[in-house]
Structure 1
């Protein structure tokens, strides 16, 4: 049986939920931060400056549910939990890193455009 024709432009297409998840700024930053060795929660929170513990927890759960991040709990005292990208999550590294790089490379252009727009709108 062939796959259905997924199309994010159709409101009922389930691929929209995936697009919404990966287009989320926190998702992008978490994927970029996990580009390497597994990280513990605290290290991940440090790497993603400005994210609250609650939002990090919720986003990690959503990413785990979607198969993008894996959570490994070690039977130690104190308990240790690490997060890392799954194989599926690894496929997001390139596109999301490229978006982050684009944002860094073009922020001056964006800020200049905003200033010009605001001057015209004032």
Structure 2
């Protein structure tokens, strides 16, 4: 459920409270609008995110974590804290992946 690239990042960003789509998209470097929509829809269908549409002109949509989403956020936040403390290790792994990919001609995962 949270093993793909973008889902944990989206959940982490939503943990701060209600967020509008545009704000969320600007806050996540590298994610396309299409991918963000897919992730949000999947999280909504899983019951982890609430989507609220305000009937204003222009329309406004906000996303928030549900209680279940907040519970899943806890281990994601722990992983994020670990990643921040171990950024040099993660950079080293990324360099090794890149070298391996270049050497074998395989795409990096």
Question: Normalising by the residue count of structure 2, what TM-score does the alignment of the two structures yield?
Answer: 0.80
The gaps in structure 2 that reach 5 residues or longer are 104-109
RMSD between aligned residues: 2.2
Q: How many pairs does the alignment contain?
A: 100
Question: In structure 2, what is the Cα distance between the partners aligned to 1:99 and 1:44?
Answer: 20
User: Could you say which structure has the greater relative contact order, defined with CA pairs below 8 angstroms and 6 or more residues apart?
Assistant: 2
Question: In structure 2, what is the Cα distance between the partners aligned to 1:83 and 1:115?
Answer: 35
Q: Which of 34, 38, 44 is the equivalent residue of 1:54?
A: 34
1:46 to 1:114, Cα distance in 2 relative to 1, 3 A:
closer
- The runs of 4+ residues in structure 1 deviating greater than 3 Å are 110-118
The gaps in structure 1 that reach 5 residues or longer are 1-20
Question: Normalising by the residue count of structure 1, what TM-score does the alignment of the two structures yield?
Answer: 0.73
Select the structure of larger CA radius of gyration. Answer: 1
